[in-house]
């Protein structure tokens, strides 16, 4: 076990080499638990700091799917056919998210995505922990799933140089398994933390410049950048040991084009992907990229339960349909909550969500998104009982999907 932990720090390639000399995880007895091997290796790879809440095990009866190895073939190293799980810092405190994340990874999810907010979207969500702290803690516990943000805003409350350094450090802790999602931000985070909230075009100009700086610093060379918004004279002395996929978030037609130009891949929602997919693809192609080789992460809300469960979840995420139409310009989460309740019927919020205790609708939604070109379906369960969702997906959904490629 000590040997496994040491090799895990050397990266996925060396980890694979060691695995070939070990018994298959699937051959281990269920009661000894493939989970025990994985969690033991995580503990040896890096102990959690004192005071950190210990992740609660998944309920008994849940199968132990080994955490999938990230694919290394294309799509910025991320592969296709991935199913992720959303860690909502708006809804849960960090110590609970650590347990949720471990359960999701042990249950077979290929990727853990974290929101990165200074405040929650709505006041009734009630939480807003620091995403990078969560990722740092998880890097010592989750050995094989991809991890990253959807999304970090590197233009105001975070400078691009600091973002580059933070994610380079995270990639030292989880080599080859860190991705960075970036976007142009929301007033509830950027204006609230800095008092600054530029117009849309300036924010995207800043984002493009920030991406240039982040990539230059990741290369490990001395950077001398004097741009319209940032000046950087520095280098990273500990650059990433492996390339970090940089995915750009977008929703509207113009932002989808800019995301295609600047990012290694895309973060978006199902409706935006359906409506503006061609804009993103055309823009990527115009700058010499092949959009078929770029990761596309789509966040899909789900409910494991009935309509009552869905309505309870929707009250926390009611802003969704209008988030990037007008609510992203509102600084106060309480005001966002008030406006969302006044202008968005609850039925509209739930539209497009698979809501069922039957795996069929959940599988159908994943198949639908994958058939449209989505390479990462990121499951977001807005309900309070996260263990129920993870157990359901681990037992009834993930085993019925093809392995990532």
**Is the pLDDT assigned to residue 46 strictly greater than 60?**
no
Q: What is the pLDDT of residue 47?
A: 33
Closest C-alpha among 220, 221, 175 to residue 77: 175
**Is the pLDDT assigned to residue 63 strictly greater than 60?**
no
**pTM: predicted TM-score of the whole model, two decimal places:** 0.83
**Is the pLDDT assigned to residue 375 strictly greater than 70?**
yes
Tell me the pLDDT tens digit for each residue of 280-299. 999 999 999 999 999 999 99
Q: What is the pLDDT of residue 305?
A: 98
Helix count and strand count (H, E) for the chain: 15, 10
- Mean pLDDT, to the nearest integer, of 371-391? 98
Using CA atoms, how far apart are residues 316 and 383, in angstroms rounded to an integer?
Answer: 9
Q: What is the mean pLDDT of the chain?
A: 86
Q: What is the pLDDT of residue 74?
A: 53
> Long-range contacts for 15-20 (Cβ within 8 Å, ≥24 apart)?
15/69, 15/143, 15/144, 16/69
Which of 75, 117, 362, 380 is catalytic? The answer is 117
Is residue 117 annotated as part of the catalytic site, yes or no? yes
Q: What is the DSSP string of 28-73?
A: S-TTT-HHHHHHHHHHHH-PPPTTPPPPPPPPTT---PPPPPPP-S
Which of 90, 125, 186, 209 is catalytic? The answer is 186
Tokens 């080599």 identify what position? 175
Closest C-alpha among 203, 288, 291, 205 to residue 247: 291
Sequence-ordered alpha helix ranges (H) in 140-199: 160-173, 190-194
Integer-rounded Cα radius of gyration of the chain: 20
Tokens 């950027």 identify what position? 190
- Three-state DSSP at 271 gives helix
**Is the pLDDT assigned to residue 2 strictly greater than 50?**
no
Q: What is the pLDDT of residue 6?
A: 35
Is residue 122 within 8 Å of 316, Cβ to Cβ? yes
Same domain, 213 and 307: no
- Mean pLDDT, to the nearest integer, of 367-395? 98
Q: What is the pLDDT of residue 35?
A: 36
Is 229 contained in some domain? yes
Is residue 100 within 8 Å of 386, Cβ to Cβ? yes
Is 27 contained in some domain? no
Tell me the pLDDT tens digit for each residue of 199-231. 999 999 999 999 999 999 999 999 999 999 999
Same domain, 56 and 137: yes
Is residue 209 annotated as part of the catalytic site, yes or no? no
Question: Which structure tokens are listed for 18?
Answer: 């060691």
Same domain, 251 and 328: no
**Is the pLDDT assigned to residue 195 strictly greater than 90?**
yes
Q: What is the pLDDT of residue 284?
A: 98
Total number of domains constituting the chain: 3
Using CA atoms, how far apart are residues 203 and 183, in angstroms rounded to an integer?
Answer: 9
For residue 355, the enclosing domain spans 48-152+295-405
Same domain, 268 and 313: no
Using CA atoms, how far apart are residues 185 and 191, in angstroms rounded to an integer?
Answer: 9
Is 40 contained in some domain? no
Is 305 contained in some domain? yes
Same domain, 86 and 146: yes
Is 4 contained in some domain? no
327 phi and psi angles, rounded to 5 deg: -75, -20
Domain boundary among 286, 306, 336: 286
387's CB contacts (< 8 A; 6+ apart) are 56, 58, 59, 100, 103
Q: What is the pLDDT of residue 216?
A: 98
Is residue 138 within 8 Å of 112, Cβ to Cβ? yes
CATH number at residue 322: 3.20.20.30
Same domain, 311 and 396: yes
Same domain, 299 and 405: yes
Tell me the pLDDT tens digit for each residue of 327-345. 999 999 999 999 999 999 9
Is residue 180 within 8 Å of 167, Cβ to Cβ? yes
- Three-state DSSP at 109 gives coil
Is 339 contained in some domain? yes
**Is the pLDDT assigned to residue 18 strictly greater than 50?**
no
Distances in whole angstroms, Cα of residue 115 to Cα of each of 105, 118, 151, 219, 390? 17, 10, 6, 26, 18
Same domain, 257 and 280: yes
Distances in whole angstroms, Cα of residue 349 to Cα of each of 110, 302, 309, 311, 322? 27, 12, 13, 9, 9
């Amino acid at each position: 076990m000590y040997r496994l932990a040491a090799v895990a720090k050397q990266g996925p390639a060396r980890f694979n080499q060691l695995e070939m000399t070990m018994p298959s995880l699937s051959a281990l007895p269920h009661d000894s638990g493939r989970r025990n091997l994985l969690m033991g290796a995580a503990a040896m790879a890096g102990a959690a700091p004192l005071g950190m809440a210990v992740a609660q095990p998944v309920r008994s009866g849940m199968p132990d799917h080994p955490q999938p190895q990230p694919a290394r073939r294309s799509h910025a190293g991320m592969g296709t056919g991935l199913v992720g799980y959303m860690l909502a810092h708006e809804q849960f405190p960090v110590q609970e998210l650590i347990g949720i994340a471990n359960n999701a990874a042990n249950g077979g999810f290929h990727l853990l995505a974290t929101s990165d907010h200074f405040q929650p979207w709505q006041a009734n969500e009630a939480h807003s922990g620091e995403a990078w702290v969560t990722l740092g803690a998880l890097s010592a516990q989750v050995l094989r799933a991809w991890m990253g943000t959807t999304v970090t805003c590197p233009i105001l409350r975070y400078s691009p140089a600091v973002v580059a350094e933070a994610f380079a450090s995270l990639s030292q802790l989880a080599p080859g398994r860190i991705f960075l999602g970036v976007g142009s931000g929301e007033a509830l985070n950027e204006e609230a933390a800095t008092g600054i909230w530029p117009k849309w075009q300036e924010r995207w100009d800043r984002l493009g410049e920030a991406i240039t700086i982040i990539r230059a610093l990741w290369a490990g060379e001395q950077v001398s950048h004097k741009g319209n918004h940032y000046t950087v004279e520095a280098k990273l002395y500990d650059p990433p040991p492996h390339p970090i996929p940089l995915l750009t978030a977008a929703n509207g037609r113009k932002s989808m084009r800019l995301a295609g130009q600047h990012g290694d891949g895309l973060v978006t929602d199902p409706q935006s992907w359906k409506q503006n997919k061609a804009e993103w693809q055309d823009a990527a192609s115009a700058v010499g990229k092949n959009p078929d080789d770029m990761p596309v992460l789509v966040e899909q809300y789900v409910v494991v339960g009935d309509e009552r469960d869905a309505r309870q979840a929707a009250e926390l995420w009611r802003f969704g349909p209008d988030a990037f139409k007008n609510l992203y310009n509102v600084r106060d989460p309480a005001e966002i909550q008030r406006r969302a309740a006044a202008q968005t019927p609850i039925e509209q919020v739930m539209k497009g969500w698979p809501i069922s205790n039957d795996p069929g609708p959940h599988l159908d939604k994943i198949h639908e998104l994958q058939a449209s070109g989505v390479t990462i379906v990121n499951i977001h369960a807005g309900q309070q009982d996260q263990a129920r969702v993870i157990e359901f997906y681990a037992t009834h959904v993930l085993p019925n999907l093809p392995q990532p490629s």
